């Protein structure tokens, strides 16, 4: 089938299955363009819980699909490709959290949303890159264990010196590989551009940037700020949505391009296969889901 035939078949299946397509901001541009909703992980999970459609095709990575399933247990959650995991989420296990509980028995445990449902179930509350500072600030404990992203945790610690924050040594390889030299070279080429960065990057880069923000925060800043040019220090395909929603502004990627391979597994054919065959449905153990939902809902209430 050619591309038009694939798209027609996908639309037919959406109607047949009463399905909605959600896509993360880091998905390939052609996937973003055919999705019903595009957003960050928590934004999409909340959206899934409010939809009336029975089936959600979640074009993202596995932990995001788990979060959506926890918030929408009655829905059928599908992923186009089961290989789409998260290397940061894989860096921590429930046992790691339990071991840290023994080491820090009086601490509050905060997990970044980029973690498995099983890890969320062992923590007190989750956070996103946009609300992490607020969440940790509002925790009653002075001592905080922040997992798994040491870079985001370090960024939070900078703004909350009154908290004693233990940082786990996890990281996003895509953001970890962004360097000061890459940003300097981009700045040489685009001297008038503001630097907008994701706080999963090394802390010193986030603090030196003009704007440090989540993907949803980047979209807000791009619309509201007076600058017309931006150097975007995050996964390269974030620029697609930024350009689409701000056609009067310029957005520049870094060299080499920061690419998350797990976000690129999605294709239109795989989306069709998923809807046709109920392929790669997301399940979460009921006990884990119940405990993880407490941590997720606490975050939603606080933020």
Q: CATH number of the domain at 238, please.
A: 3.40.50.10800
Gyration radius of the chain over CA positions = 19
C-alpha–C-alpha distance, residues 182 and 256, integer Å: 8
Tokens, residue 241: 């949505």
Asked if pLDDT for residue 1 goes beyond 80, the answer is no
User: How many domains in the chain?
Assistant: 3
Q: Which domain holds residue 251?
A: 178-257
Q: What is the pLDDT of the chain when averaged over all its residues?
A: 97
* Distance, first Cα to last Cα, the chain: 45
Mark whether 149 and 292 lie in a shared domain.
Answer: yes
Question: How many other CB atoms are found less than 10 A from the CB of residue 272?
Answer: 20
Mark whether 120 and 134 lie in a shared domain.
Answer: yes
Q: What is the pLDDT of residues 171-192, one digit of tens each?
A: 999 999 999 999 999 999 999 9
Asked if pLDDT for residue 303 goes beyond 80, the answer is no
Mark whether 57 and 105 lie in a shared domain.
Answer: no
* Mean pLDDT calculated for residue range 132-156: 98
Mark whether 203 and 235 lie in a shared domain.
Answer: yes
Mark whether 167 and 292 lie in a shared domain.
Answer: yes
* Mean pLDDT calculated for residue range 52-67: 96
pLDDT the model gives residue 302:
83
Q: What is the pLDDT of residues 80-138, one digit of tens each?
A: 999 999 999 999 999 999 999 999 999 999 999 999 999 999 999 999 999 999 999 99
Question: Within 13 Å and on the Cβ side, how many CA atoms surround 197?
Answer: 28
Mark whether 26 and 77 lie in a shared domain.
Answer: yes
């Amino acid at each position: 089938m050619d591309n038009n035939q694939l798209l027609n078949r996908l639309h037919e299946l959406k109607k047949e299955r009463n399905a909605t397509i959600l896509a993360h901001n880091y998905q390939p541009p052609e996937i973003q363009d055919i999705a019903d909703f595009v957003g960050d992980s928590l934004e999409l999970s909340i959206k899934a819980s409010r939809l009336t459609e029975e089936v959600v095709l979640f074009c993202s990575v596995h932990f995001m699909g788990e979060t959506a399933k926890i918030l929408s247990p009655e829905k059928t959650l599908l992923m186009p490709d089961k290989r789409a995991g998260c290397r940061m989420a894989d860096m921590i296990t429930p046992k790691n959290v339990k071991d840290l509980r023994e080491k820090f028995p009086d601490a509050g445990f905060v997990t970044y949303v980029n973690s498995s449902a099983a890890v969320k179930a062992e923590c007190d509350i989750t956070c996103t890159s946009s609300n992490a500072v607020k969440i940790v600030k509002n925790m009653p404990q002075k001592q905080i264990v922040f997992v798994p992203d040491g870079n985001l945790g370090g960024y939070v610690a900078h703004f909350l010196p009154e908290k004693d924050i233990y940082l786990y040594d996890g990281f996003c390889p895509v953001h970890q590989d962004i360097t000061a030299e890459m940003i300097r070279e981009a700045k040489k080429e685009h001297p008038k551009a503001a630097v907008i960065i994701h706080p999963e990057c090394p802390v010193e880069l986030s603090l030196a940037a003009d704007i440090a923000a989540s993907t949803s925060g980047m979209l807000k800043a791009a619309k509201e700020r007076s600058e017309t040019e931006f150097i975007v220090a995050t996964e390269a395909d974030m620029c697609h949505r930024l350009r689409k929603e701000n056609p009067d502004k310029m957005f520049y990627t870094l060299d080499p391009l920061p690419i998350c391979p797990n976000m690129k597994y999605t294709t239109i054919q795989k989306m069709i296969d998923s809807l046709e065959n109920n392929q790669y449905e997301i399940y979460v153990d009921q006990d884990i889901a119940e405990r993880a939902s407490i941590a997720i809902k606490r975050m939603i209430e606080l933020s």
